[in-house]
Amino acid sequence: MSVLHIQYSQWPNHGVPEDTFSVREIEKRVMYPVAPAIPDCSPIVVHCNTGVGRTGTYCTIHDTLQRIVSGNMPGLDLAKTITTFRFQRDGMVQKPEQYRLCHDALVGELEDHISDGSPVEYLVK
């Protein structure tokens, strides 16, 4: 079994990175692994110190992008997505700044697709 391990040590506990670039690059690595030994990156395991703040933030970004790609436009409802995650694990996305990071990362990713003319479908293999 091949494993892709990504450690993002610059994401502060109970905080957010300065911008969305690194989080979005990690998402691209997960969705499009460059190593031929890793043809499929599922399942994905995400964890931080407590498994709720940073974990919930990343899972929200990942889940929402996956739903957009599949054509599920109601998937853009971040509040509903986070509420669903919180039913599964209390405390997912702990801070308003983390909620904002989810929003900004999604907007940034979609803007990148619009500006370079690539369809959103490129997010899917």
Catalytic residue among 41, 48, 59, 102: 48
CA distances from 76 to 34, 64, 97 (A): 28, 6, 18
* Alpha-carbon dihedral sign for residues 97, 102, 103, 107: positive
Q: Is 48 a catalytic residue?
A: yes
Other CB atoms within 10 Å distance of the CB of residue 38: 13
99 neighbors 108 (Cβ within 8 angstroms): no
In 1-125, DSSP assigns E strands to none
The residues that are catalytic are 48
